[in-house]
A and B are shown apart, each in its own frame.
Chain A
Amino acid sequence: MNPSETSVTAIDVSAPLVLRNVTQCFGEHTALRNVSLEIPAGRIVGLLGRNGAGKTTLLHIASGMLLPTEGTCITLGASSALLDTPQLTRLGLVQQEGRCLEWMTVRQHLDFNASFYPRWDRDLERRVIEALEVDPKRKIVQLSPGDRQKVGILLGVCHRPSLLLLDEPMSALDPIVRKRLLDFLLELLRDDGCTVVISSHILNDVEKIVDWIVALDAGEIVEDSAFDVLQESYAEWTVTSANGALPTAFTEPFVINHQGDARQALLRVRIADPEAAARFAVAHHAEIRTRPLNLDEMFPLITRQKKKTP
Chain B
Amino acid sequence: MNARAYFQILRPGRTFFAVVSGVLYILVYLVGLIRGPASGKLLLGLAIFGPVVLGNLLVGPIHEVMHRSFFPTLPDACQRLRRWHLYAVGVAAVVLFVPTAIFVGEIPPIALFGLIVAGLSLSVLDSQRKRQASIRVLLALIFVGFVVSDRVRSVVVMACQTVPWAFFIGGLAFATICFRRGFSAQNVRDRWRDPNFYCAQSTLVFVGTDIKLHAEAEGRQFAQRQNINLGRDWRGGVITDSLRDWRRVIRHARIGRTSKLKHVVGLALSGLFLAPLCFGFAYAMTKGSGGTRSLAQFCRLIVDSGKGGENVDWPQLWLLFTLLPVGACGLAWVAGTMAAIPVSSFPLSRGRLATCLFFEACWLATLVFLANVVATVLCIYATSRVGGVPFEARMLSTPLAVFAIQLPTIFLWISGNFVRGIFARIVLGTILGVGSLIGVIMVQVKYVSVVVSPSGLLLCVVATGLAGWVTWRTFQSFYRDCDLNNSGRMLKESGVGLGQA
Give A contacts to B, CB under 8 Å: 63-67, 81, 84-85, 88-89, 91-93, 95, 97-104, 108, 111-113, 115-117, 139, 141-142, 152, 155
Complex Cα spacing A108 to B80, Å: 18
User: A101 touching B68 by the CB < 8 A rule?
Assistant: yes
Q: Which of B70, B74, B215, B218 has the most CB of A within 10 A?
A: B70
Q: Which residues of A contact B69 (CB under 8 A)?
A: 65, 95, 97-99
Nearest to B61 among chain A residues (CB) is A101
Give 7 closest A-B pairs by Cβ, nearest first.
A88-B75, A115-B5, A99-B195, A85-B75, A85-B76, A89-B75, A116-B74
**B76 CB contact (under 8 Å) in A67, A88, A93, A104:** A88
User: B210 touching A142 by the CB < 8 A rule?
Assistant: yes
Answer whether residue B371 sits at the interface, using C-beta atoms and an 8 A cutoff.
no
User: B75 touching A64 by the CB < 8 A rule?
Assistant: no
**A101 CB contact (under 8 Å) in B1, B65, B72, B192:** B65
Q: Which residues of A contact B240 (CB under 8 A)?
A: none
User: B5 touching A112 by the CB < 8 A rule?
Assistant: yes
- Whether A65 contacts B72 in the complex (CB less than 8 A), given A101-B9, A102-B214, A116-B77, comes out as yes
User: B1 touching A115 by the CB < 8 A rule?
Assistant: yes
Contact mask for chain B residues 52-68; partner A; CB cutoff 8 A; 1 contact, 0 none: 00000000000011011
Q: Which residues of B contact A63 (CB under 8 A)?
A: 72-73
Q: Can you report 12 A-B residue pairs in the complex whose CB atoms are below 8 A from each other?
A: A88-B74, A91-B73, A93-B70, A97-B69, A98-B69, A112-B5, A115-B1, A116-B5, A116-B74, A116-B77, A117-B75, A141-B214
Q: How many Å from the CB of A70 to the closest CB on chain B? A: 17
Complex Cα spacing A65 to B186, Å: 10
- Whether A67 contacts B189 in the complex (CB less than 8 A), given A85-B75, A101-B65, A112-B8, comes out as yes
Complex Cα spacing A7 to B496, Å: 54
Q: Which residues of A contact B189 (CB under 8 A)?
A: 65-67
Nearest to B67 among chain A residues (CB) is A99
Complex Cα spacing A164 to B77, Å: 19
User: B211 touching A111 by the CB < 8 A rule?
Assistant: no
User: A102 touching B75 by the CB < 8 A rule?
Assistant: no
Answer whether residue B260 sits at the interface, using C-beta atoms and an 8 A cutoff.
no
Contact mask for chain B residues 467-488; partner A; CB cutoff 8 A; 1 contact, 0 none: 0000000000000000000000
Q: Which residues of A contact B2 (CB under 8 A)?
A: 115
Nearest to A142 among chain B residues (CB) is B210
- Whether A103 contacts B72 in the complex (CB less than 8 A), given A111-B8, A115-B1, A115-B4, comes out as no
Complex Cα spacing A88 to B70, Å: 12
Q: Which residues of A contact B210 (CB under 8 A)?
A: 139, 141-142
Q: Which residues of A contact B211 (CB under 8 A)?
A: 102-103, 141
Answer whether residue B202 sits at the interface, using C-beta atoms and an 8 A cutoff.
yes
Nearest to A139 among chain B residues (CB) is B210
Nearest to A63 among chain B residues (CB) is B73
Complex Cα spacing A152 to B233, Å: 36
Complex Cα spacing A99 to B211, Å: 13
Task: Determine the interface band of chain B, counting residues with CB < 8 A from chain A.
Answer: 20 to 34
Q: Which residues of A contact B389 (CB under 8 A)?
A: none
Complex Cα spacing A84 to B72, Å: 10
Complex Cα spacing A99 to B215, Å: 11
Nearest to B215 among chain A residues (CB) is A102
Complex Cα spacing A101 to B61, Å: 10
Complex Cα spacing A88 to B218, Å: 27
Q: Which residues of B contact A104 (CB under 8 A)?
A: 8
User: B73 touching A99 by the CB < 8 A rule?
Assistant: no
User: B75 touching A113 by the CB < 8 A rule?
Assistant: no
Nearest to A88 among chain B residues (CB) is B75
Q: Which residues of A contact B195 (CB under 8 A)?
A: 99
Q: Is the interface of A mostly helix, strand, loop or mixed?
A: loop
Contact mask for chain B residues 65-107; partner A; CB cutoff 8 A; 1 contact, 0 none: 1011110111111001000000000000000000000000000
Q: How many Å from the CB of B399 to the closest CB on chain A? A: 45
Q: Which residues of B contact A97 (CB under 8 A)?
A: 69
Q: Which residues of B contact A117 (CB under 8 A)?
A: 75
Answer whether residue B177 sits at the interface, using C-beta atoms and an 8 A cutoff.
no
Complex Cα spacing A108 to B65, Å: 13
Complex Cα spacing A108 to B4, Å: 11
- Whether A93 contacts B5 in the complex (CB less than 8 A), given A65-B189, A103-B211, A141-B214, comes out as no
Answer whether residue B207 sits at the interface, using C-beta atoms and an 8 A cutoff.
yes
Interface residues of B in 407-441 (CB under 8 A from A): none
User: A113 touching B214 by the CB < 8 A rule?
Assistant: no
User: A64 touching B73 by the CB < 8 A rule?
Assistant: yes
- Whether A98 contacts B70 in the complex (CB less than 8 A), given A103-B211, A111-B5, A112-B5, comes out as yes
Q: Which residues of B contact A85 (CB under 8 A)?
A: 75-76
Q: How many Å from the CB of A297 to the closest CB on chain B? A: 31
Apart from the given pairs A115-B5, A139-B210, 11 other A-B contacts in the complex at a CB distance below 8 Å: A65-B69, A91-B73, A101-B9, A101-B64, A115-B1, A116-B1, A116-B75, A117-B75, A141-B211, A142-B210, A155-B70
Complex Cα spacing A155 to B74, Å: 10
Nearest to A98 among chain B residues (CB) is B69
Interface residues of B in 297-340 (CB under 8 A from A): none
Q: Which residues of B contact A98 (CB under 8 A)?
A: 69-70
User: B68 touching A116 by the CB < 8 A rule?
Assistant: no
**B218 CB contact (under 8 Å) in A67, A99, A152:** A99
Nearest to A96 among chain B residues (CB) is B69
Q: How many Å from the CB of A169 to the closest CB on chain B? A: 14
User: B218 touching A93 by the CB < 8 A rule?
Assistant: no
Nearest to B14 among chain A residues (CB) is A103
Complex Cα spacing A265 to B70, Å: 51
- Whether A99 contacts B77 in the complex (CB less than 8 A), given A112-B5, A115-B2, comes out as no
Q: How many Å from the CB of B475 to the closest CB on chain A? A: 30
User: A99 touching B76 by the CB < 8 A rule?
Assistant: no
User: B76 touching A84 by the CB < 8 A rule?
Assistant: yes
Complex Cα spacing A4 to B327, Å: 55
- Whether A99 contacts B75 in the complex (CB less than 8 A), given A108-B8, A115-B5, comes out as no
Q: How many Å from the CB of A87 to the closest CB on chain B? A: 8
Q: Which residues of B contact A81 (CB under 8 A)?
A: 185
Complex Cα spacing A113 to B2, Å: 11
User: B72 touching A64 by the CB < 8 A rule?
Assistant: yes
Q: Which residues of B contact A115 (CB under 8 A)?
A: 1-2, 4-5
